[in-house]
Every structure is written in C-alpha cells, then in structure tokens.
Structure 1
Amino acid sequence: MTIDFLWNGRARPTRGPKPTLSLERIADAGIAIADAEGLDAVAMQRVAADLGFTKMALYRYVAGKAELVALMVERAIGEPSATDTTDWRTALKEWAHQLLAAHLRHTWTLEATLGPRPIGPNELGWMEHALSILPTTGLTGSERLDTIAVLAGQVRAIAQQAMVSRHPEGDITAKISDQLRRHSDRFPALVATMAAAATDGEHDQAFEFGLDRILDGLDTLITQRGS
C-alpha cells in the first residue's frame, strides 16, 4: 500500500492546470458518507460521484479504498489536544476522554482502525501523546505499551456500547428488564442489583468506573516500584 501521501501530502505539480481536488475534500466526502450510512457505504465510485468527478479522477489522489479509509481516519480523529497537567493519572484520563469523544463523533472509526491497515501520523500521534506521559513512572517499555492498549480497549468497549445504545433496538437494559419481569425468580441477584442501581443515581458510569480502576491498578504498581 502506498501511504506516503498520509505523511507528506500530494506534491503540487509545477506545470499544467492546478489540481481540482484535494485530499481534504476527498476525506470529507468519505467521512460524510460513513457518518450517514456506515463504512460499508464508502467506495471510490461513490465518493467520486458525490464530489462530481469520475472514479478515475479520484485514483490520481488515492490508490484505493484502503488508502481512502486511512485518509478518512486521519481527518476524522485529528490530533489529541495537549493535556493541561503534569500529573500522569489526570493526563491519561484526559487522553482517554479525548479518544472516546473522537470515536463517538465518527463511530465508523472503531471498525476502520482494526487489523492491518495504512497508518498515518495522526493515529500514531495519539500513541505518542499517551506514551509521553509515562516515561518517569518507572514502567518498562512493554508496560507502557500495555497501558495504552488497555486504556484504548476500555475506550473502544464503551464507544461500541454507546454506538449500539443509540438505536432503540439496541437498548439492552430495557430488554433485560422486560425478561426479569417475567422470570425474576430465576435471577434474584440480578433483580436485586438492578433495583439498587435504579435508586443510587449513578447510571451510565461504566467508562469512568473502568477507567478509574485501570488507573488505580497502575498507580499501585508505580507506587510499589517506587518503594
């Protein structure tokens, strides 16, 4: 796969007419389709048509769908914002919240960032930013990479749940409650727990709860290393 354009852009020709398209326009057209209809709807032909060009014209800028999706991911997730703290725990938490927000703005990026694919500077920039927070914690290189993998996994899990819950048919809580009304005698612990949850006023805290538990464990490990 040719991905130099993700890093260096397209060189402007010194002769002939100026390019009528840009990588930014192409990415934005693909993003609009994916946001509205999902990643499967994105195709070179469709993007070209939406821009008012032929598919062959698009190939002058992007080699194929894999490169097109990589370009879209770069544009969609952007770069992480600077964290306004020197405390590693607070900084990592801010990073995780930023990444979750990026995925929720464009939920198709969850699928697009799985498996072997062209990777651009923005995607690597998220890793760079998180890893730059950790060098003074006493964690090994492998542990720092694992930390980012675990945090990113928490982000992806919650983003996927949120994506499903946006659709009425995806409301798993309503489905569970419906079944419990019919079969409460078979699941007493679940009935009691859901009843307690209904009164404690702390719904939809799975992201914060999981994030804090991950960081608690990391804090314990760092403290043990320091002593």
Structure 2
Amino acid sequence: MLVWERPEPPDRPVPAPLNREQIVRAAIQLADADGLDAVSLRKVAAALNVGPMRLYGYIDTKEELLDLMVDAVHADIRPTGDGWREVLRSLAESTRRAAHQHEWLADLIGGRPQLGPNTLASGESVLAAMDGVDLDIVVPAVDAVNAYVIGAVRREITERRAERASGMDKTQWQVAFGPYLVRTFATGLFPALAKMVHDGPHLDADQTFWTGLDFVLDGIEARIAR
C-alpha cells in the first residue's frame, strides 16, 4: 500500500500532536533553507521536537517523505487557461515558479512519474485541456513540454547555485572570462561561436525561458494542424 493510501496512525494523547502534513511542512522548510541534504527523518523529528520513532507509521522511509514533499509543492502547480496552449504555458510557468521557490524541486522532478493526488490533479488538468487531440500527439507533446521545462529549470537553478558558490553573478563571470574568449576567437578557429557572441541576442532568464517554450508550443501546434 503506497503512502497515499495508507491511513495515518490514530491520534494519541501526547504533548506534541503529529500528522503527515506537519511532517512534510517541516521537511520542506529544512530543504528550502539548506537543500535536500538537510532532510532526514531524524532532522525532521528534531525540528518538530519529537523523537524519530514518532515519525514511523506516518512515513516509513525518506523516499516516501521526498514523494510527499514533491506532491505538496504540486498543490500550487494547477494549470489553467482557455485551450491547450494556455494550459501548457500555465503548467510551465507554475512549475518554474515552484522550483524557484523550492530549489530542491529541480533535483526531484523528471524521473519516474509522481503518483500523489496533487500531481495527478495537475496532470488531469493538462490532459483535459487537450481533449479532442489525438493521443498519439498528446502524449509526446506533454512529454516534450515537461522535458523542456525540467531542463530549463535545472539550468536556472544550477546557475543560481554557481553564483552562490563562486560569489560571482552572470555578468561578473562574463567579465572575468571575457578576455579568454577574445583571445580564443581571435584564432579564427570558432567563427560561428564568435558571431553568436558578438551579434546574437542576449536574452535574460525570463526571455530565454519563454522564447524556448514558444518554440516547443509552435512545433506542437504545427503537428496538430496537420
């Protein structure tokens, strides 16, 4: 029986009441502050001021706890809009916003499908918006959007982490490594890269994300139109 189906232990007359929601909320707060390495059943129990053994019965393993954390965040990922394109854009926007708020989410999405109720509700909203489109298009289309969003979000979070680790933001990094690129491009070995750096658009993170997403959605729209 998965954690979503398993009932919680009955209430007990103890000084510190406990339930799964409290456990998950405490775990998310730890992860938001210090990353997933800060999350363990022992640390969560300490944050709740209870003994570690109190958590068992509510949650059996750390993997279950991580699944519950991801599903809790998906309560805020509820795609809306008129038509499949607006709904897929809403899915992308809300997933990105959630990952910016909870950076650890980028480390947990993209693997096997999440099966929690909030995650399933999000998927239901997307598929319902594509009702009437052939499933042979719907399935790879939704997979393509999810793959794009996950990749883009992970890149953004990796950049954030690199800024913190190096103490340099993107502009400072470019200034530091600019002279190397100037010397390298002067060799004439990389003319296409040199043209891109000198003449190409320099988009900020938001522009990069939405432009790339529009490329994906335009491709889906063209395939549906066939």
Give me the TM-score of the superposition, normalised by structure 1.
0.82
| Structure 1 unpaired stretches of 5+ | none
Q: 2:74 aligns with which of 77, 81, 84?
A: 77
> 2:87 — aligned with what?
91
Task: Give the C-alpha shift of residue 38 in structure 1.
Answer: 1.5
Question: Do the aligned residues in 1 keep the contact of 2:109 with 2:150 (CA within 8 Å)?
Answer: no
Distance 1:144 1:7 in 2: 29
Distance 1:152 1:177 in 2: 34
User: Is 1:217 paired with 2:213?
Assistant: no
**CA offsets 1:7-52 (integer angstroms, 9 cap, x no match):** 5763644xx5277112121111111111122212211111111111
User: Is 1:188 paired with 2:191?
Assistant: yes
> 1:130 — aligned with what?
126
Q: For 2:103, what is the secondary structure of its paired residue? A: coil
The sequence identity of aligned pairs, in percent, is 28
Question: Do the aligned residues in 2 keep the contact of 1:91 with 1:133 (CA within 8 Å)?
Answer: yes
Q: 1:7 to 1:147 in 2, by over 3 A?
A: farther
Q: 1:179 to 1:119 in 2, by over 3 A?
A: farther
Q: 2:156 aligns with which of 162, 179, 187?
A: 162
Question: Do the aligned residues in 2 keep the contact of 1:67 with 1:118 (CA within 8 Å)?
Answer: no
Considering Cα pairs closer than 8 Å and 6+ residues apart, tell me whether 1 or 2 has the greater RCO: 1
- Equivalent residue runs for 1:11-160 within 5 Å: 12-13=10-11, 16-17=12-13, 20-81=17-78, 83-85=80-82, 87-116=83-112, 119-137=115-133, 139=134, 141-160=135-154
How many residue pairs end up in the alignment? 215
The letter of the residue matching 1:219 is: E
Distance 1:201 1:117 in 2: 35
| Structure 2 unpaired stretches of 5+ | none
Q: Which moved more, 1:17-26 or 1:66-75?
A: 17-26
Question: Do the aligned residues in 2 keep the contact of 1:79 with 1:125 (CA within 8 Å)?
Answer: no
**CA offsets 1:56-81 (integer angstroms, 9 cap, x no match):** 01113111101111111111231433
Distance 2:193 2:121 in 1: 42
Task: Give the C-alpha shift of residue 114 in structure 1.
Answer: 4.5
Task: Give the C-alpha shift of residue 192 in structure 1.
Answer: 2.1
The letter of the residue matching 2:151 is: A
Question: Do the aligned residues in 2 keep the contact of 1:103 with 1:159 (CA within 8 Å)?
Answer: yes
Give me the TM-score of the superposition, normalised by structure 2.
0.83
Task: Give the C-alpha shift of residue 196 in structure 1.
Answer: 2.0
Q: 1:142 to 1:84 in 2, by over 3 A?
A: closer
